[in-house]
Amino acid sequence: MRMANIFRITNAIILWAIVIMFLPKKLFKKYLPVTLFCSGNLLILSLLNFIFKWWNVKGGTKYLIFDDLAFIYGPFFTINLWVFHFTYGKFSIYALSNLIMDLLFAFPLSALFQKIGHYKLNKLNSIGLFIMYYAFALINYGFQILFEKEVNH
């Protein structure tokens, strides 16, 4: 098994175990819609990647799909739940924490993930990756506000 696959599986198991053990069920339900919304947006990006070839994964389409799904429903999904848990209602803290996390992801972590074989950026660079993820973070916050207004009416 490739090192990247071991990392993906271990990462997802640990992150989901932490969510299951420590995130209150009420908050999981509260932030599940926004997390699914954003995960859906990332799935759309993954599908568009087949056309635009923004990134690729060694091993072809099967590994590309596995990599995208493992990322979206592993670290991205679980971290999104935690970020909303700790920062929702405090936009400046939410924006700052996402700025820091997205900068870390787009630059040092992306370089590391490319080095260990998670993926290789092609027509997308680290700046584009950062802008894309930070824009999603801001859209997500707006989605959560609108969703709560609808639920509370």
Contacts of 21 by beta carbon, 8 Å cutoff, 6+ apart: none
Domain containing 126 equals 3-151
Place of tokens 């990134």: 55
Enter the DSSP assignment of 122: S
CA distance 57 to 15: 23
Which pLDDT score, from 0 to 100, does residue 80 have? 96
pLDDT digits (tens, 9 = 90+) for 57-114: 888 888 888 888 988 999 999 999 999 999 999 999 999 999 999 999 999 999 998 8
What is the pLDDT at residue 92?
Answer: 98
Strand positions, DSSP E, the chain: 55-56, 120-121
Instruction: Report pLDDT for 118.
Output: 76
How high is the mean pLDDT of the chain?
Answer: 92
Q: What is the mean pLDDT of residues 37-42?
A: 96
Largest CA distance in the chain: 51
Q: Is 136 exposed, middle or buried (0-12, 13-18, 19+ CB in 10 A)?
A: buried
pLDDT (0 to 100) of residue 1: 54
Number of domains in the chain: 1
How would DSSP label each residue in 120-139?
A: EESS--HHHHHHHHHHHHHH
Do 70 and 12 form a contact (C-beta atoms < 8 A)?
yes
